[in-house]
Structure 1
Amino acid sequence: MANPLPDLAPQGKKSAFMRFLDVVERVGNKLPHPFILFVYLALLVMVVSAVVSAFGVTVVHPGTQEEVAIKSLISTEGLRYIIDSMLDNFTGFRPLGLVLAMMLGIGLAQQVGLVQTFMRKTILNAPRSLVTYAVLFTGVIGNLASDAALVIVPPLAAMVFYALGRHPLAGLAAGFAGAGAGFTANIFIAGTDALLSGISTEVAQTIDPNLVVTPVDNWYFMSFSVLMLMVVGAFVTEKIIEPKLGKYEGNVDKGLEQITEVENRGLRNALIAGLIYLGLVSLLVLPSGAPLRNEEGGLVPSPFLNGIVPIIFLFFVTVAVAYGVTVGKIKESKDIPQYMGEAMKQMSGYIVLIFAAAQFIAYFNWSNLGIWIAVTSAEFLQSMNMTGVYVVVGFTLLTALLNLFIFSGSAQWALMAPIFVPMFMLLDYHPAFVQLAYRIGDSSTNIITPLNPYILVVLAFMREYAPKAGFGTLFSLMLPYTLFFLGAWIVIFLIWSLLGLPIVPGVGMSLH
């Protein structure tokens, strides 16, 4: 190999950045499993609520204007609440039903092979000059298949680059950047939207019981983000990564698995079925007086937006069945629930995590600690005259840093939302806007955190082309994507905010 990549694993003196990553890895590895972390946090809330309550602390509820006291969870009333509410906290936790319903549809599409075939088709059929953009686009929208894109897109992109005479590691890096750092963006409503919006609603209703954050509330911005990530990612790949790598002169026996004729027919039939479904939904939404409009004939709010999750679920079921029947994956009606069951097996870890997270959030809200912290923090920021959108940007940067230590996006949002959503609401920021700021920071650093379990998978793919590559090699390739994605995202976020553009119809930066 004419241009061997540096193996930055423990040989020689490490750079300051590599030493920092070593610290991140050591600290992160000492953190307990997210489930246990939420158990510890729930215990901490119990202790803190007892201590603060003992001092007779009260706070004026910003929604009702009533004075409420901090309630101790280590009391007769508190212990009864813990026992009585445990099951309701879990089964009534808004993200649980939303995410499971979404994943029934998306999981079916993944199990029959529709999502994987679509990703391969997009990359393999792209014109040579647009291959980099196709790789990034496929990686970004691949979060429909959750983590599957992190396993499918990088090695496929490496093979495509290799077949075109370009450095395969540049393709692998672009694919990993799109699927990892672009995980939260999409032109479709995905499971991430349902998961985060459910947590946001659960927390926001402690301030305003009528406020709902829907899965579509970040759609405008996140759809535009797909285009931004493609452009910025292509710039990084072609102007920074490929010049850094130089010419690849290795000889690797890698063949591309082409799309078969039956898979092409499956994609065509899925497209037809999807268009027919969208046409039927349009008839229920677009005409004046349509049943999915509100009583005044508008769309914000409306039964259409309130029912967006089942509508999206049925869309994915429709296209998945059309594809599955065509390619022979679905031969009998019983195959459909069996595939859905397989998809649900992958959600078992999420369900376990949600049980603990739901208890933590419920205890935090019941004790009134969340309101007290939010009001106190908001008053402090107002006294310091720190209420502009740049405070929200600071929150994004904090999120990006914490993501190095807590890789699970849902776990991190469940941890941060009870504190920051009420605080920013008191500063007149819409919780969907705060959620948007969180998603930018959380997504950008996914590809450089040593706690990302897929880093080992990507490193294994990398060593097929560069046997001496180590973690330092991978991080040195991925860091430019993180910095450029985060920087570009923040700039667009600021421009979007200063122009007062909505992040979805009826939802902007401000609550009012």
Structure 2
Amino acid sequence: MASNTKEEKNSIFSGFLNGIERVGNKLPEPFMLFVFLAVAVVIVSGFISLFDVTFSQPGSNEQMKIKSLLSSEGLQFMVTSVIDNFIGFKPLGIVLTMMLGVGLADKVGLLETLIKNTILRAPKTLITYAVIFTGILGNLAADAAFVIVPPLAAMVFYNVGRHPLAGLAAGFAGVGAGFTANIIVANTDAVLSGISAEVMETVEGAATVTPVDNWYFMLVSTLLLTTAGGLITERIVEPRLGVYDGDMKQGFDETTSLEKKGLRNAAIAAVVYIAMLLTALFWPESPLRNDEGGMIPSPFISGIVPVIMLFFITIGVTYGVTLKKIENSRSIAKYMGEAMKDMSSFIVLIFAVAQFVAYFNWTNIGTWLAVSGASFLESMNMTGMIVVVAFVLLTALLNLLVFSGSAQWGLEAPVFLKMFYFLDYHPAFIQAAYRVADSSTNIVTPMNPYFVIVLAFMKEYDKKAGLGTLMALMLPYTLVFLVIWTILLLGFAFLGIPFGPGVGVHV
């Protein structure tokens, strides 16, 4: 009887996901979808502006208003900003820069050989968890992890006889939904705590927030999400996908002695590169560190994308030269060019995405919705842990509109940190609650500029895949991560476990 009930529940949930996939796949192709969304923003901004909607951004006395794209100013903006919107779209530069290095290493065959001789030799029972864990740690490479981990995870799953889209989903879940977690203090800790500390400076005698104040909580979160992500992949996502019957490429052949030599030389080059990098980092008065000699933040962290690109170029060239695939500088340019050709459809798509995001930001609609939602919850004047849970849920919803974690925290922190502080909650605890919600929904919002990138990777294995396919794949991770991570937050609170050195729930 219990077994039948379990099967019925699985059937209902699977049917729900299938419904999402069907509805989502009825949407236009991503390029046209974002064109239509951009047009919708134009129309909606014109309509709302008729009511002279004004608001104040938290932490500022400046009055803001919804600006109409149908006004003279709006029309001028749309006409004159097209090129700047496109070339200034941050993910475009990150992805293309990364692909110069990663693409080179891929085209010469290094990544294939690396997978054959490392990941594929790992116990198959641990591969899923290794992918999730690697994705979570990927925030050390900032947004570059969105470009690296999901496609490599798909390749790993494909070449151990598992569905590649399950691997891609696991990688995307680790990078996106687990973005703010880590086992060490990362750049995210510095950015968010910096905003929190600045807000609390306006309250006389208030507690401040440092980059290590959420460290214990995020360390445990990493282990929890790795376990949960692995179980979701193997119990929900992969069974629903079934057996992969695509013919994208054949499985890996046995590694030749020359390939093993190339892999060895690439490993030596990697060690030399890392050694030189560490020497540059820890050299006295290193320009790669900040003025206080620290690493977070620092020019090194800000420049992590070109650092990674050069790493892949170094090991890719070494491998290519060993296998005589690279004979001169023209060969390097040729392989990079081939990698860029594979990105052509992505570049076309990003043109439409960039225009939509620019319109949405210029009109102030996203900011207005975020501020209005925050003010509404504040006006409810709730106390106790229920208000913390409500804050988590509101933040999760707002993240569907404002993808940037630092930008959204900049909107919410001036309202909620002060409100909760006057209720005797430590600002670092509220910051931890924010991070739970902000990360969990990263993988289901089209406002995430890397959402369409992952969709492009997905189409390499399934030409018919659409937005609905990706949404249905990722929704289980979002729902489970949000629930269990919130429970962990409450568990830390009720059990009195510190969130960081000397940081509890209350001041």
Q: Smaller-chain TM-score range?
A: 0.5 to 0.7
Superposed CA offset, 1:140-197 (max 9, x none): 7597656644653234223xxxxxxxxxxxxx26x7544322325369xx9xxxxxx9
Alpha-carbon distance in structure 2 between the residues aligned to 1:286 and 1:424: 37
Match of 1:313 in 2: 309
Task: Point out where structure 2 has 5 or more consecutive residues left out of the alignment.
Answer: 1-6, 136-145, 180-187, 200-213, 240-249, 418-429, 447-454, 465-471
Asked whether the equivalents of residues 107 and 343 of structure 1 are also in contact (C-alpha less than 8 Å), the reply is yes
Give the length in aligned residue pairs: 415
C-alpha change, 1:384 and 1:350, in structure 2 (3 Å) is: farther
How far is 1:342 from its partner? Answer: 1.5
Which is worse superposed, 436-445 or 378-387?
436-445
Deviations 1:194-244 (A, max 9, x none): xxx9xx99xx9xxx9xxxxxxxxx999999888666655666799x79xx9
Q: 1:152 & 1:427 partners in 2: Cα distance?
A: 44
Match for residue 52 of structure 1? 48
Paired with 2:84 and 2:228, the residues of 1 have a C-alpha distance of 45
Question: Which structure 1 segments of 5+ residues have no match?
Answer: 1-7, 9-13, 159-171, 191-196, 209-217, 245-253, 403-411, 461-475, 503-507
Is 1:23 the counterpart of 2:19? The answer is yes
User: For residue 334 of structure 1, what is the aligned residue in structure 2?
Assistant: 330
* Structure-2 separation of matches of 1:24 and 1:480: 12
Q: One-letter code of the match for 1:338?
A: K
1:69-112: CA deviation from partner (whole Å, max 9, x where unpaired): 32211111111111111111111222221221112111112222
Of 373, 380, 383, the residue aligned with 1:377 is: 373
- Between the aligned residues of both structures, percent identity stands at 44
Q: Helix, strand or coil for the counterpart of 1:289?
A: coil
Query: Structure 1 residues 109 and 396, CA, compared in 2 at 3 Å: closer, same or farther?
Result: farther
Q: Does 1:39 align with 2:35?
A: yes
Compute the displacement of 1:125 (Å).
2.9
Please name the residue that 1:390 is paired with. 389
Partners in 1 of 2:104 and 2:433 — Cα distance?
A: 31
- Structure 1 distance, partners of 2:75, 2:484, is 48
Q: Which amino acid aligns with 2:171?
A: G
Q: 1:394 to 1:485 in 2, by over 3 A?
A: closer
C-alpha distance after superposition, 1:284-316 (max 9, x if no partner): 212331121223322233221222211111111
Match of 1:115 in 2: 111
Whether the aligned pair in 2 keeps the contact of 1:123 and 1:135 (CA below 8 Å) is no
Residues 66 and 364 of structure 2 are in contact (CA less than 8 Å); yes or no, is this contact kept in structure 1? yes
Q: Displacement, 1:431?
A: 10
Shift of residue 491, structure 1, vs aligned partner? 5.5
Q: State whether structure 2 residue 78 is matched by structure 1 residue 79.
A: no
Q: Secondary structure at the match of 1:185?
A: helix
Partner letter of residue 114 of structure 1? L
Letter in 2 for 1:383: S
Aligned equivalent of 1:90, options 80, 83, 86: 86
Distance in 2 of aligned mates of 1:311 and 1:453? 23
Q: Could you tell me how far 1:418 is from its partner in structure 2?
A: 11
The amino acid of 2:333's aligned partner reads P
Partners of 2:432 and 2:332 in 1: CA distance: 34
**Cα gap change, 1:371 to 1:59, in 2 (>3 Å):** same
Question: How far apart are the structure 2 equivalents of 1:55 and 1:483?
Answer: 37
Output aligned runs, 1:372-451, within 5 Å: 372-385=368-381, 390-391=389-390, 393-394=392-393, 423-427=411-415, 437=437, 439-443=439-443
Contact 2:67–2:363 under 8 Å retained in 1: yes
Aligned positions of 1:30-429 closer than 5 A: 30-62=26-58, 64-126=60-122, 130-134=123-127, 136-137=129-130, 141=134, 145=148, 148-149=151-152, 152-158=155-161, 172=162, 177-185=166-174, 231=227, 257-385=253-381, 390-391=389-390, 393-394=392-393, 423-427=411-415
User: What is the alpha-carbon distance in structure 2 between the residues aligned to residue 354 and residue 414 of structure 1?
Assistant: 18
Match of 2:182 in 1: none
